[in-house]
Amino acid sequence: MMSKQRGATLIVVLFLLLAIIVLGTLAVRQSLVSLNIATNSQAQQLLIQNSDSAFFNVERVDNIIQSLSSSGMFGYISGATDKDKELVFCYRGSETSFFDISRASIIYWKPGGTAPTNNEFGIEGYCDASEQATNFFTSGRRAVMTQVAVKFSSISENDPFFGAQFGTDDQAVKFDRSKPVKVFAVSVMPTLTNADSADINTCFRNHMSEVTIPEGTSVALNAVSRQTVTECLSELNVPFTSHVTEYVIVQDFV
């Protein structure tokens, strides 16, 4: 009789241990889910903050003055021959100047080309996700990198007078027409992905906005080349945020 009671006690103890193990496993899983949610929320917040920081710098008064110059992010591609070009640069938070024309790149399609030209002005403007890169992050934490692109709006692309000036006569002061321009910011956290840094860098060298392809170019043969940065990053499962703000550049004299 005593041996039967001991056997029953052993079975009860085993059931209790099994219940404890199951409850413990569920608790650990719940904790991991909560941790992942918190991590994703923090990562998303960081990405949004860094994109916002880029736009804050675009709108700073002292930066706007430089941006409208011939070597600025707006002025450099404001001419009639540059309306289809996209100016790209990496937001380097460790540097004092937000924009430097010598560290920017231009990407555009040449008529009849089979892929966009992205190295005519050099490749310094594209962010670098490799481990050796030290100055492509927006802050000292080296967590987020943000790539910015400037492109005049598609509204202007169909304007035959884009880039033209107007005034009373040849001797009088000339004024630029108002021009809508779009600024794109894509923020990425390379440490939260298993994607190869070389593949991420390839994504950075794509168009960041709507792609303008000249007439006569075979669209069917260039499906991959027509990818935007965000489409490429999505295929690699790289965490990112993408924001766009449209501005209208006007001359105002008081």
Boundaries of every domain in the chain:
2-249
Identify the segments of the chain with pLDDT beneath 50: 2, 33-38, 155-157, 163, 253-254
Q: Which DSSP helix (H) or strand (E) runs through 242?
A: strand 240-249
Q: Which pLDDT belongs to residue 159?
A: 55
Per residue in 145-200, pLDDT (tens digit) is 899 999 886 544 455 555 455 555 555 555 556 778 889 999 998 888 888 999 99
List alpha helices for 2-121, DSSP H: 2-59, 61-67
Q: Which pLDDT belongs to residue 38?
A: 46
What is the residue-wise DSSP string for 155-192? HHHT-TTTT-EE-SSTTSPPEEPPEEEEEEEEEE-GGG
Q: Which pLDDT belongs to residue 204?
A: 93
d(CA 49, CA 52): 5
CB 138 within 8 A of CB 52: no
* Predicted model pTM: 0.74
**Distance from the first to the final alpha carbon of the chain:** 106
Q: Which pLDDT belongs to residue 150?
A: 92
Q: Which pLDDT belongs to residue 192?
A: 81
Strands 105-107 and 86-91: antiparallel
153-180 per-residue burial string, b: 16 or more CB within 10 A, e: under 16: beebeebeebbeeeeeeeeeeeeeeebe
Q: Which pLDDT belongs to residue 110?
A: 79
Q: Is 151 helix (H, G, I), strand (E, B) or coil?
A: strand
Q: Which pLDDT belongs to residue 70?
A: 84
Q: Which pLDDT belongs to residue 95?
A: 83
Q: Which pLDDT belongs to residue 153?
A: 65
Q: Is 150 helix (H, G, I), strand (E, B) or coil?
A: strand
